[in-house]
Amino acid sequence: MHVPDGFINAPVSAAAGLVAAGAVAAGLRGARRELDDRTAPLAGLVAAFVFAVQMLNFPVGAGTSGHLLGGALAAILVGPWTGLLCIAVVLLMQGVLFADGGLTALGVNITIMGGVTVLTAYAVFRGLVKLLPRGRRAVTVASFAAALVSVPASAAAFTLLYALGGTTNVPVGDVLWAMLGVHTLIGLGEAAITTATVGAVIAVRPDLVYGARDLAEPLKLRVDGRLVDAAPAPTAPTPAPARTGGSARKVWAAGLAASVVLAAFVSFYASADPDGLERVAADYGIDEKAEDHAVADSPLADYGVTGVTDARLSGGLAGTLGVAGTLAVGTGVFWAAARRRAAAAAAQPARPKESA
């Protein structure tokens, strides 16, 4: 759903840019509460993984494809504020290096693909995990529903911006129903990918899933025919830092390997059909005033490497470079946010001890 230049007029694009800038600023503040030295590299990995999976367009019928938006996945894995930053980093890399999504429409894309998807998905997710029986099943069920709802919500947000500043004269009702129809189908794919990924991480390290951190269920005992909370078990010795860090590093390494394989190899088999927005735009004439991308001559434009004639090799190299660049930029942003949190905590004056 990458909106190109020319779909939305300059005033509304500028306003969306201000909204996106405010959302990113809020995300930087909020991420300081969600990140630490352990989770910052994992957040960078989530951004790289979303970049890789977005290269895998899957068919949804009638010559149309879809791809992961990633807002729900990022929010559940690393937190809503950090998740918003993950999507913003991905969209920035795609727009600047790969000519995917207009530069003047960057604010539009961050608003609808980042802000709307993350906020909608996380609200649905938190609401469901509070209603469902506590446990891993609740997390996976809530992940599916959150991802499914987030995609048509993003489509509706695009329609609203088109109603405010569309550059073509297409009835808004037609745009809304067309966008909701195709993006509900895409949402099913989004939900499947999100649920599978969240489930895989929970199976290995549930403590690394932000949305599952407070779902530990206390042990129950049956006493006189009724269930009561068991007495807390003796506190286990804290695991050695090397062992905990090693386990987290294994998750990070496995995630990075999966991202590279998806971007460098699996992406070659992605659907070549236009995605949901492209299909609706072509069918209804929304793209009549679309503009050429400002960096259309980038060496990595259209996810290929200029000068490499073999399509498989060209796409694989571009995907690998995209994963590496997104990982580096994302990790740098999240590490800086985590360091700011640590510095702020260290700067707080120590509380004086109360006298006996």
pLDDT of residue 125: 98
Axis-axis angle for helices 71-78, 136-165 (nearest 10): 140
Report how far residue 7's alpha carbon sits from residue 280's, in angstroms, rounded to the nearest whole number: 12
Total Cβ atoms within 10 A of residue 20: 22
pLDDT of residue 62: 85
Domains of the chain: residue spans and CATH: 10-212+260-279+305-345 (1.10.1760.20)
Check whether 100 has a pLDDT greater than 80.
Answer: yes
pLDDT for 247-284, tens place per residue? 788 899 999 999 999 999 999 999 999 999 999 999 99
- Which position has the token pair 């980093």? 89
Specify the higher pLDDT residue, 174 or 221: 174
Check whether 350 has a pLDDT greater than 90.
Answer: no
pTM: 0.89
Report how far residue 113's alpha carbon sits from residue 3's, in angstroms, rounded to the nearest whole number: 10
pLDDT of residue 41: 93
Cβ neighbourhood burial of 307 (10 Å; 0-12, 13-18, 19+): exposed
Task: Extract long-range pairs of 126-130: CB within 8 Å, 24+ residues apart.
Answer: 126/211, 129/211, 129/215
Check whether 342 has a pLDDT greater than 80.
Answer: no
At residue 344 the predicted structure's pLDDT band, cuts being 50, 70 and 90, is: low
Enumerate helices (H) and strands (E) in the chain, giving the number of each. 11, 4
Report how far residue 278's alpha carbon sits from residue 284's, in angstroms, rounded to the nearest whole number: 10
Total Cβ atoms within 10 A of residue 223: 9
Check whether 197 has a pLDDT greater than 90.
Answer: yes
Q: Which two tokens stand for residue 74?
A: 């990022």
Q: What single DSSP character describes residue 169?
A: -
pLDDT of residue 249: 87
Q: Which residues have a Cβ under 8 Å from the Cβ of 263 and sit 6 or more positions away?
A: 51, 52, 55, 316, 319, 320, 322, 323
Q: Are 68 and 151 in contact (CB under 8 A)?
A: no
Three-state SS for 66-129 is ECCCCHHHHHHHHCHHHHHHHHHHHHHHHHHHCCCCCCCCHHHHHHHHHHHHHHHHHHHHHHHH
Inter-CA distances, 266 with 111, 126, 316, 322, 327, Å: 29, 33, 9, 14, 19
Check whether 134 has a pLDDT greater than 50.
Answer: yes
Name the β-bridge partners of 226. 223
At residue 48 the predicted structure's pLDDT band, cuts being 50, 70 and 90, is: very high
What letter represents residue 141's amino acid?
V
Check whether 356 has a pLDDT greater than 50.
Answer: no
pLDDT for 142-196, tens place per residue? 999 999 999 999 999 999 999 999 999 999 999 999 999 999 999 999 999 999 9
Strands 226-229 and 220-223: antiparallel
Q: Are 326 and 94 in contact (CB under 8 A)?
A: no
